[in-house]
Amino acid sequence: MIGTALIFIRQHLDAYLRSKLGGSLDDGTPDKVVFVAGDQEATESISFASGAVTLLLVNLEEERILREADPYRRDNGSGGMGSVQPDIRLVLYTLFVARFSDYANSWNQLSSIVQYFQHVPVLDRTTAPNLPDGVERLAFELVTQSFSEQNDIWNALRTTHLPSLLYRVKLLTIRDTSDVLLSPISTVKTSLSSVGRS
């Protein structure tokens, strides 16, 4: 689910940047938005692709405020209730890193991303009909980092600071699909007893 959402965001932004620059998915040019190469050793610093914006997930957190406490609340479609764990709603912290030989072009590419999410801050079935199954909506919020927070991220990545933006993406829902059926209540027994007076 997390990987599916990240792939969608990458492809969606790639298509947007291509259209902004007058290209298309079929023009044979390299991707405008990419992931970090998958063959990086854990001990090596990350290297970002030149001539592209790299999308990198730097943190996840659970949105606990909206979490339901009752695991017996889902209708199973037949009018009964299912025993399920509450949904887990995740917030993704995505870093967009631009690496171009022209420094100004790096910021222009990132500016295009800011403009896009300013115009379309929420991707749902209306704004993005090809949203993957299981992903209801993705809301993008620009995160302003302090100098120390930026320093922590780039130290963790073990690489030179490059032009970048950090976005908080809410809310990716992970749903329990086990759905153990609960036996319906068929009979109710009551009993009365009298309380004697002393």
Give pLDDT tens digits for 36-80: 876 555 556 688 999 999 999 999 998 877 666 665 555 555 656
Place of tokens 């993005």: 128
Q: CB within 8 A of 109, min separation 6: which ones?
A: 17, 32, 53, 98, 100
Strand runs labelled E in the chain: 33-35, 52-62, 74-75, 81-83, 88-99, 122-123, 138-143, 164-174, 180-181
Ranges of the chain with pLDDT below 70 = 22-28, 38-45, 66-83, 175-188, 195-198
pLDDT at 74: 56
Residue spans per domain, the chain = 2-66+88-178
Q: Residue 1 CA to chain centroid, in angstroms?
A: 9
In whole angstroms, what is the distance from residue 162 CA to residue 63 CA? 29
Amino acid at 86: P
Across-strand partners of 92?
Answer: 60, 169
The percent of residues above 70 in pLDDT, for the chain, comes to: 72
